[in-house]
């Protein structure tokens, strides 16, 4: 009988109604990345160099090509 009296408070604790809680959990959702803007590649002055071009023309074409590619990289 004494054993039953010891377990009686434990059984009374189980008889209570369970507490229902609503918990909001934020879940990351994958979304598509927007398409990058279309930036046209510039025409490079170095493409106009021929075998009989003077060294000064080649140097100017290289300088203009570097400037064009630097501007293109900034746009990207």
Q: What is the DSSP secondary-structure string of 2-46? A: HHHHHHHHHHHHHTSPPPP-----------PPPPPPP-PPPPPGG
Q: What is the pLDDT of residues 26-37, one digit of tens each?
A: 999 899 999 888
58: confidence class by pLDDT, cuts 50, 70, 90: very high
- Residue 53, pLDDT score: 92
- The domain ranges of the chain are 4-75
- Residue 14, pLDDT score: 58
- Residue 64, pLDDT score: 95
Give yes or no for residue 65 having a pLDDT over 90: yes
């Amino acid at each position: 009988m004494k054993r039953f009296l010891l377990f009686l408070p434990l059984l009374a604790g189980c008889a209570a109604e369970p507490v229902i809680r609503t918990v909001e959990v934020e879940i990351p959702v994958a979304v598509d990345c927007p398409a990058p803007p279309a930036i046209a590649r510039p025409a490079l002055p170095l493409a106009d160099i021929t075998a009989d071009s003077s060294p000064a023309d080649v140097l100017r074409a290289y300088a203009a090509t570097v400037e064009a590619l630097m501007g293109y990289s900034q746009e990207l």
